[in-house]
Amino acid sequence: MKYLLLLTIGITSLMANDMNTKETLFKNECSSCHMAYQAQFLPKRSWIKMMNNLSEHFNTDASLNEEDTQMIKEYLVANSSDSTKKLYGEIAEFAQSIPKSKTFLAITDIPKFKREHREVPKRFITQKEVKSLSNCTACHTDAKKGWYDEDNINIPNYGRWDD
């Protein structure tokens, strides 16, 4: 019994280390160009489609070697909105707004995202400090932690946002 327990602990530890390695690879590769968006924003069908076409990743060739591509895809699928029970707050609301019939690749196309940002004046979005709605960290001070509530919004050259 003792050996079975140790074996179980060892396997669980290896699996956790494997997922941590995949998460680190995902964060390092993706954040080299943009914020590493939380995997929970999109369902697995979106992540699979995106990872299968990195040569045309939003008009950029983001191709990786096969092993890294597979590891990142596995991480994204395992943590996608329809594969995890770790949905919370704004991310949960965004994920729940995606129709099962749609395969969004851009988080900015998600219905809840569009509703939440429709009142933001274009001049705030296009200014050089923000550039586009895909630059979450420009205004959402805790976006990297997955916190997108209004208490953590500070728009450059404007300040705190309340709608």
Total number of domains constituting the chain: 1
Residue 153, both tokens: 């919004």
Tell me which residue range forms the domain holding 69. Answer: 1-31+38-95
pLDDT, average across residues 58-82? 94
pLDDT, average across residues 25-31? 92
CB 40 within 8 A of CB 75: no
In a domain, 58, yes or no: yes
In a domain, 79, yes or no: yes
In a domain, 150, yes or no: no
Residue 79, both tokens: 């943590």
- Mean pLDDT, the chain, integer: 87
In a domain, 74, yes or no: yes
Q: Return the minimum-mean-pLDDT range out of 5-14, 49-58, 80-89, 133-142.
A: 5-14
In a domain, 110, yes or no: no
pLDDT beyond 90 at 13: no
- Which of the four pLDDT bands, split at 50, 70 and 90, describes residue 14? very low
In a domain, 75, yes or no: yes
Coil, strand, or helix at residue 136?
A: helix
- Which of the four pLDDT bands, split at 50, 70 and 90, describes residue 37? very high
In a domain, 64, yes or no: yes
Strands 154-155 and 159-160: antiparallel
- Give the per-residue pLDDT at 5: 45
Which residues, listed in sequence order, are joined to residue 159 by a DSSP beta bridge?
A: 155
